[in-house]
Amino acid sequence: MEGLPILSLMMLAPLAGAAACLFAGATAARWIALGATLVTFVLGVVLWSNYQIGGPQWQFTERAELFAGFSYALGIDGIALMLIMLSVFLMPVCILASWESVQKRVGEYMAAFLFMEVLMIGTFAAQDLFLFYVFFEAGLIPMYLIIGVWGGDNRIYASYKFFLYTLFGSVLMLIAMFWMVAEAGTSDIPTLMQYSFPTSAQTWLWLAFFASFAVKVPMWPLHTWLPDAHVQAPTAGSVILAGVLLKLGGYGFIRFSLPMFPEASAQFAWLVFALSMIAVVYTSLVALVQTDMKKLIAYSSVAHMAIVTVGLFAFNVQGLEGAMIVMLSHGLVSGALFLCVGVIYDRLHTREIARYGGLAINMPYYALFFLLFTMASIGLPGTSGFVGEFLSLAGIYQTSSLVALICTTGIILGAAYMLYLYRRVAFGGQVNADAAAMRDISAREWVMMAPIAAAVMWMGVYPESFLAPMRADIAVLDARLAAAAPAGDAKLAPGAPRAAAANAMPHHEGSETSSAKEGAH
Amino acid sequence: MEFAASFALVMPELVLIAAGLTLLLVAAWGGDKAARLIAIAAVAAFFAAGFLLVPGLHFGVDGPATLAFGGLIKVDSFALFAKALIYLAAIGALMIAPAFFDGPSAGTERGMRAEYPVLILFAAVGMSIMVSANDFMSLYLGLELNSLSAYVLAAILRRDPRSGEAGLKYFVLGALASGILLYGMSLLYGFTGGTSFTAVRAGLTGEMGYGALFGVIFVLSGLAFKISAVPFHMWTPDVYEGAPTPVTAFFATAPKVAAVALTARVVFEVFGGQVAAWQQIVMFMALASIIFGALGAIGQENLKRLLAYSSINNIGFILLGLAVANADGASAMLVYLFIYVAMSLGSFVALLMLRGEDGALFETFADIRGLSVTQPAIAWALLLFMFSLAGIPPLLGFYSKFVVFQATIEAGLVAFGAIAIAASVIGAFYYIKFVKVMFFDEPAGVATGKSGAAHWVLLGLTALIVSPLGYLLTPSLTDLADKAAASLFLTV
């Protein structure tokens, strides 16, 4: 694999597909898009299998001086690898989700999605600050078109709001980037991650980056674009928005804010905590009263992403690992939940919860998948949601019991709104005749849901596969943060290790194991 | 002998003047039937003149060897860069003209008038003199030659009242601006005792008196009018709307380049010793142009008016590079100018290619509704230009903002840059409205996009420059701009 520019290839495949889709007819465009995303996914699998756990921090690096002012530099660490895998995994699913529901301007639609994939991979793989910005910001164009052209009734308002909110957040970050590059003399991200900026400047830089990432995550009170965008976007648009685009904010925190400005991050941790606590409680309550399914899931996304931000700013390994797992898990689960909504929306063309009911009777397989993803969203043990939320909250508990306490209520409230949603949609009597007449999921929908379900279970049962590639990078980050980490209120005092296991039986003659141990004395 | 050297330096201008005079005679005898031939000859003349610039551009020229006619003219790398841009924009304006004048939008007088290419030639000569002026006298000479040609160009559709109105407005306000400029120049002459840039600069050293300061302010105000920077911008939307579209495309590109280059030369070479005196003025004009250019555009329904405000907005960003007051800023400004010319020219070409069923040009937002269905190629090209003008990566318009803001921040003007970039988000609002109307709305009617090869070539070329592939140009572009900026700062 040496010398093969696999990251560039992963971007080239969807790019070529996008160009082909623009000129292809509807059916051809669907197949081209599916083919291109599958090729990219296969390349992603190759990427993961060739990634050396415990190898150099930055792998698959590429560099070319193509532009004036910044360079084309790519490379990934474990964190980026996982997020790239998430993107390339969700992409074929998105294409399948739009197979029948998108009927107008299919070629352009598929091209927009494939272009989006190029940009997402580029964002996670960029090793040059400005190259990152180009990819990060360019995502506005396809997403604006996806919401605006193929969205619902109020799509224009939603697309404007999405565009202007995120643009305003990002431009301030660009100014901060110029300052950093002028100060450090390089735009190389790995170098900047080790560079110590003056503490007074860090405050401003952190705030500028925060403006951008807080909008992307989104954090309360900057989240209002999200429900609008989600509700109006087509199903696949929602999947990508929730599955990957929101992760750009979290990725930004973990890649830029924390390692580049550790002191400022510690200084502003209270701000992140306060906003996250409000978000968890407030958006969960808002989700509880929604009558629109997509809006409910959108609000739940805000609550889940708040768990991510508290985990990130816990300044310890559990918190960081938990935040990463919540991001991956939320990417899969919320994406799957939007697919679930899309499945019944395609049949009945309404997202109103009250129009459904008793779907478990006529759509048993659908109800099964929906239940699994509902449980994963709540964080049931055995699903990916549990692992992430547990680690994240365990991390924050070491830093602040209060924050942990309030954020944990989010899990309870999450159970409330998700179970309430599920009860109204899947259980109860079949009050609506048209909803009762809907057929169960088709083979195409099986193919969409089953891989996500498998991934959710895998991550829930054996998270080590996902944690292992990131472990070294998180350790490096934790070491970098150690000096700045705020004193937690947990006051963990390691006691003296016990001499014997807690459940060891009192000494008996003839007991095999203990006699063997004792015999050594 | 010295005269021969001087003539060698101004060879591109001589080519253009000779072509202009000859073609004027052809026009006088050949009449409008010869118009197309004259246009082709004029394009050839521009290519020839542009070709003469290449060696100097490539190797970079500066120092005393660039002075011609006893220091009246200075043909350094900076002037060459600006001239190259001006000639390219002029070629564009000539290529798009015939089809427009043949269409019904040209009113009752069909067909391109033979004077049109000739006037463009003379305007370009004027602009060439402007950008290579090294004396207030040659500056004024070039400025007026350009302006007088431009007034006639604006009013070239004699029977169209809007065109006549545009020409008259442009003339009256332009004359006022020239007067202000001339007054400033006379004040400077009075207080420094010279008209050449070096003499005025020498006279402005040390503590500056009120008289000289007023001279600086008046000169800057006059120039601000020519580049349509706020608060001297009010004529722009009216003139852009009224003038025939190819002429508007010309106004939005070549004279802007010339006036900006001239302003840069005046502030650096003449007022270079008194940066504190003009920096605040330029900073104010930059911010005001960005903000008012963006706010003014929001309510516009007419596309040409909208592009006029967009050009005001862009001038603000260009002035940002000027306000930095160092070679990086000047280089960034030149890079911005190049990209701006490509974006503006492309947008106007796209507008020129859009006609309704009756053959009339599309002028308002209502006309271009749903264009992505009826004319996908043009709609996608316009999408590129609009996102590029808004400065969204990965389009080249982002790079232009990138270099300007980078220079601003590196010079330590962080707060200034932050305000300016935040204001740029306002501008994004109407650029994405353009996209919204074309892509999200239902089609309004039939749009015929039957256009000549010249339009398609120009549209394709500008779209290619603006597309992400344009980034591959940036190393050589930056190199040229750096050389040009360096020659400007040789005297500082």
Task: Kindly determine whether residue B418 and residue A68, on different chains, have CB atoms separated by under 8 Å.
Answer: no
| Cis amide bond preceding A221, omega within 30 | yes
pLDDT tens for each residue of A191-207? 888 888 888 888 999 99
Provide the pLDDT for residue B337. Answer: 93
Displacement of CA A66 from its chain's centroid (Å): 31
Task: Kindly determine whether residue A175 and residue B477, on different chains, have CB atoms separated by under 8 Å.
Answer: no
pLDDT tens for each residue of A430-443? 888 887 788 888 88
Does residue B1 carry a pLDDT above 80?
Answer: no
pLDDT tens for each residue of A370-416? 999 999 999 889 899 899 999 999 999 988 889 899 999 988 999 99
CA B318 – CA B94 distance, rounded (Å): 25
Locus of tokens 């509700």:
A231
The Cα of B384 is separated from the nearest Cα of chain A by a number of Å equal to 10
User: Mutating which of B388, B396, B404, B414 best tests the A interface, going by the most A Cβ atoms within 10 A?
Assistant: B414
Task: Kindly determine whether residue A178 and residue B425, on different chains, have CB atoms separated by under 8 Å.
Answer: no
CA A41 – CA A20 distance, rounded (Å): 18
Q: Please say whether the beta carbons of B99 and B451 come within 8 A.
A: yes
The Cα of B238 is separated from the nearest Cα of chain A by a number of Å equal to 29
Provide the pLDDT for residue A520. Answer: 46
Q: What is the mean pLDDT of residues B428-457?
A: 82
Task: Kindly determine whether residue B472 and residue A66, on different chains, have CB atoms separated by under 8 Å.
Answer: yes
Q: Provide the β-strand partners of residue B355.
A: B361, B448
Provide the pLDDT for residue A483. Answer: 82
Provide the pLDDT for residue B170. Answer: 92
- Residue B250: band (very low, low, confident or very high) from pLDDT cuts 50, 70, 90: very high
Task: Kindly determine whether residue B471 and residue A66, on different chains, have CB atoms separated by under 8 Å.
Answer: yes
Does residue B289 carry a pLDDT above 60?
Answer: yes
CA B240 – CA A286 distance, rounded (Å): 50
Q: Provide the β-strand partners of residue B133.
A: B73
Angle between helices A78-97 and A464-482 (to 10 degrees): 130
CA distances from A95 to A30, A132, A294 (A): 7, 25, 19
CA B390 – CA B425 distance, rounded (Å): 8
Q: Which of B414, B417, B474 sits opposite A69 (nearest CB)?
A: B474
Q: Please say whether the beta carbons of B227 and B286 come within 8 A.
A: no
Residue B366, C-beta contacts closer than 8 angstroms, at least 6 positions apart? B301, B444
Task: Kindly determine whether residue A69 and residue B477, on different chains, have CB atoms separated by under 8 Å.
Answer: no
Summary mean pLDDT of chain B: 88
CA A243 – CA B258 distance, rounded (Å): 50
Nearest CA in chain A to B411: A182
pLDDT tens for each residue of A59-76? 888 888 888 888 888 999
Does residue B48 carry a pLDDT above 70?
Answer: yes
Does residue B349 carry a pLDDT above 60?
Answer: yes
Residue B195's identity, in one-letter code, is T
Task: Kindly determine whether residue A163 and residue B475, on different chains, have CB atoms separated by under 8 Å.
Answer: no
Angle between helices B275-298 and B303-323 (to 10 degrees): 160
Tell which wins on pLDDT, A226 or B451: A226
Provide the pLDDT for residue B356. Answer: 76
Does residue B475 carry a pLDDT above 50?
Answer: yes
Interchain CB contact of B394 with A (< 8 Å) = yes
Task: Kindly determine whether residue B394 and residue A140, on different chains, have CB atoms separated by under 8 Å.
Answer: no
Q: Where are the alpha helices (DSSP H) in A198-357?
A: 199-216, 225-232, 235-240, 246-252, 258-260, 262-267, 269-288, 293-312, 317-348
User: In chain A, what residues touch B425 (CB-CB under 8 Å)?
Assistant: 164, 167-168, 171
Nearest CA in chain B to A175: B418
For a pLDDT cut of 70, what percent of chain A falls above it?
96
User: In chain B, what residues touch A145 (CB-CB under 8 Å)?
Assistant: 435, 439
Q: What is the mean pLDDT of residues A285-310?
A: 90
Kindly state the DSSP code that residue B93 receives in the 8-state scheme: H
ipTM of this complex prediction, to 2 decimal places: 0.91
- Residue B362: band (very low, low, confident or very high) from pLDDT cuts 50, 70, 90: confident
Task: Kindly determine whether residue A172 and residue B422, on different chains, have CB atoms separated by under 8 Å.
Answer: yes
Provide the pLDDT for residue B67. Answer: 86
Does residue B414 carry a pLDDT above 90?
Answer: no
CA B473 – CA B396 distance, rounded (Å): 10
Q: Which of A130, A149, A179 sits opposite B440 (nearest CB)?
A: A149
pLDDT tens for each residue of B197-214? 988 888 888 888 888 889
Provide the pLDDT for residue B394. Answer: 87
Task: Kindly determine whether residue B393 and residue A134, on different chains, have CB atoms separated by under 8 Å.
Answer: yes
Provide the pLDDT for residue A253. Answer: 92
Task: Kindly determine whether residue A138 and residue B414, on different chains, have CB atoms separated by under 8 Å.
Answer: no
Q: What is the mean pLDDT of residues A220-246?
A: 84
B242's tokens: 């009224």
Does residue A456 carry a pLDDT above 60?
Answer: yes
Please state whether beta strands A72-76 and B67-68 pair in parallel, antiparallel, or not at all (unpaired).
Answer: unpaired
User: In chain B, what residues touch A182 (CB-CB under 8 Å)?
Assistant: 406, 409-410
Task: Kindly determine whether residue B478 and residue A69, on different chains, have CB atoms separated by under 8 Å.
Answer: yes
pTM: predicted TM-score of the whole model, two decimal places: 0.90
Provide the pLDDT for residue A510. Answer: 53
Of A294, A33, A343, the residue nearest A152 (C-alpha): A294
Q: What is the mean pLDDT of residues B408-435?
A: 88
CA A89 – CA B214 distance, rounded (Å): 66
Provide the pLDDT for residue B109. Answer: 65
Q: Which of A69, A130, A164 sits opposite B428 (nearest CB)?
A: A164
Q: What is the mean pLDDT of residues A120-142?
A: 91
Q: Provide the β-strand partners of residue B51.
A: none
Provide the pLDDT for residue A99. Answer: 84
- Residue A519: band (very low, low, confident or very high) from pLDDT cuts 50, 70, 90: very low
Q: Which string of b and e fits A305-323 if b means at least 16 CB within 10 Å?
A: bbbbbbbbbbbbbbbbbbb
Task: Kindly determine whether residue B421 and residue A149, on different chains, have CB atoms separated by under 8 Å.
Answer: no
Please state whether beta strands A72-76 and A59-64 pair in parallel, antiparallel, or not at all (unpaired).
Answer: antiparallel
- Residue A1: band (very low, low, confident or very high) from pLDDT cuts 50, 70, 90: very low
Nearest CA in chain A to B481: A68
Task: Kindly determine whether residue A175 and residue B409, on different chains, have CB atoms separated by under 8 Å.
Answer: yes
The Cα of A376 is separated from the nearest Cα of chain B by a number of Å equal to 36
Task: Kindly determine whether residue A156 and residue B418, on different chains, have CB atoms separated by under 8 Å.
Answer: no
pLDDT tens for each residue of B92-143? 999 988 888 877 766 666 678 888 999 999 999 999 999 999 999 999 999 9
User: In chain B, what residues touch A138 (CB-CB under 8 Å)?
Assistant: 392-394
pLDDT tens for each residue of B363-386? 888 888 888 888 888 889 999 999
**Distance from the first to the final alpha carbon of chain B:** 30
pLDDT tens for each residue of B64-98? 788 888 889 989 889 999 999 999 999 999 998 88
CA A295 – CA A242 distance, rounded (Å): 12
Does residue B395 carry a pLDDT above 50?
Answer: yes
Q: What are phi and psi of B284, to 5 degrees?
A: -60, -45
CA A421 – CA A314 distance, rounded (Å): 32
- Residue B449: band (very low, low, confident or very high) from pLDDT cuts 50, 70, 90: low
pLDDT tens for each residue of A491-510? 767 778 888 777 877 766 55
User: In chain B, what residues touch A162 (CB-CB under 8 Å)?
Assistant: none
Query: Which class for A289: exposed (0-12), middle (13-18), buried (19 or more C-beta within 10 A)?
Result: exposed
CA A246 – CA A330 distance, rounded (Å): 10
Q: What is the mean pLDDT of residues B164-190?
A: 92
Q: Which of B403, B417, B425 sits opposite A167 (nearest CB)?
A: B425
- Residue A515: band (very low, low, confident or very high) from pLDDT cuts 50, 70, 90: very low
User: Mutating which of B374, B399, B434, B466 best tests the A interface, going by the most A Cβ atoms within 10 A?
Assistant: B399
**Number of CB atoms found within 10 A of residue A145's CB:** 26
